[in-house]
């Protein structure tokens, strides 16, 4: 059973340094989940000194602003409350989550939130805060198709002109490039570039995978390009590597992800959460 990575991150101390925020963004793209038991253990520890509502809200908001996981992007690009609920519920139906939370209302009404099972009060607060900030993000200005989200985030948090931003931009231009090719594009040696990235606590391979996942998820949401063409355009060797990367990142196959991105349907009037762990 799984839990979305941001829920666990929301219970950790905040490190708002640009390098750590960018590392979080890259990590969020590559693998969106932790084991549910890890999240439960983290919540039990946090219960000893739980965050206040404002602290929790600000932390979730800052994490979500740097979250480029395909599932987060799918929700945040929703058009209207119905599509928001449909996409959220579709994810909860398809992914093996420790606790499934179904939205059956256009808005988020905590008074209509029903909990069954052993979910803790803190975990309920984290989930509801997460949903509320996702809903607000989805109601913001429309995000243009093809936006280079990782690069946008790098520049927004103060990394413009850094090796992290330069490598990210180079990989958006040529997602199939290896370390040596990127170093040549940037006018430095392979070893120098590798050393610069390691000093920021991140590897070239992880950034490359994050860019490829972001590119492919964007194409799945916004184009009718075939899956093999999406895979190749995003720099994957073939459709098998592409499918594996999407499964690790989002726990969905590319076809399921595309299907969810196209769905929108009316929804009823409350929010339900239920434990699937016995």
pLDDT digits (tens, 9 = 90+) for 157-181: 999 999 999 999 999 999 999 999 9
- Residue 264: predicted pLDDT: 52
Output 177-186 pairs: Cβ under 8 A, ≥24 positions apart: 177/208, 177/235, 179/204
Domains and CATH numbers, the chain: 2-145+265-275 (no CATH), 149-250 (1.10.10.60)
pLDDT digits (tens, 9 = 90+) for 3-21: 999 999 999 887 888 999 9
Q: Where are the alpha helices (DSSP H) in 66-162?
A: 70-76, 81-94, 121-138, 149-156
Helix axis angle for 149-156 and 204-222, nearest 10°, is 120
- Residue 266: predicted pLDDT: 45
The DSSP bridge pattern shows strands 99-104 and 270-275 to be: antiparallel
pLDDT of residue 146 exceeding 90, the answer is no
Q: What percent of the chain has pLDDT over 70?
A: 89
- Residue 44: predicted pLDDT: 93
The per-residue pLDDT of the chain, averaged, comes to 87
- Residue 220: predicted pLDDT: 96
Position of tokens 């119905």? 82
The pTM (predicted TM-score) of the whole model is 0.88
- Residue 128: predicted pLDDT: 93
- Residue 196: predicted pLDDT: 87
pLDDT of residue 139 exceeding 80, the answer is no
pLDDT of residue 106 exceeding 60, the answer is no
- Residue 269: predicted pLDDT: 36
pLDDT of residue 214 exceeding 60, the answer is yes
- Rg of the chain on CA atoms, in Å: 19
- The DSSP call for residue 162 is S
Q: Comparing 19-28, 134-143, 194-203, 231-240, which segment has the lowest mean pLDDT?
A: 134-143
Backbone φ and ψ for 34, nearest 5 degrees, come out as -125, 165
């Amino acid at each position: 059973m799984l839990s979305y990575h941001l829920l666990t991150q929301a219970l950790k101390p905040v490190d708002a340094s640009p390098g750590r925020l960018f590392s979080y963004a890259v990590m969020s793209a590559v693998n969106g989940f932790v084991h549910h038991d890890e999240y439960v253990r983290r919540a039990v520890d946090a219960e000893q000194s739980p965050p206040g509502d404002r602290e929790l809200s600000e932390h979730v908001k800052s994490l979500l602003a740097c979250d480029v996981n395909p599932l987060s992007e799918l929700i945040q690009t929703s058009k209207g409350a119905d599509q928001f609920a449909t996409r959220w519920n579709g994810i909860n139906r398809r992914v093996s989550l420790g606790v499934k939370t179904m939205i059956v209302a256009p808005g988020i009404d905590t008074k209509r939130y029903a909990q069954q099972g052993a979910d803790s009060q803190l975990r309920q607060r984290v989930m509801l805060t997460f949903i509320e900030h996702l809903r607000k993000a989805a109601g913001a200005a429309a995000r243009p198709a093809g936006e280079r989200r990782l690069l946008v985030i790098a520049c927004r948090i103060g990394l413009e002109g850094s090796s992290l931003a330069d490598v990210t931009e180079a990989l958006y231009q040529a997602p199939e490039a290896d370390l040596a090719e990127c170093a040549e594009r940037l006018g430095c040696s392979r070893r120098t570039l590798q050393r610069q990235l390691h000093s920021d606590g991140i590897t070239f391979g992880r950034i490359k995978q994050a860019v490829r996942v972001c590119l492919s998820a964007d194409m799945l949401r916004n184009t009718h390009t075939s899956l093999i063409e999406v895979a190749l355009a995003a720099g994957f060797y073939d459709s098998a590597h592409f499918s594996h990367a999407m499964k690790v990142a989002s726990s969905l196959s590319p076809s399921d992800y595309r299907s969810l991105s196209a769905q929108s349907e009316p929804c009823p009037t409350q929010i339900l959460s239920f434990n699937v762990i016995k």
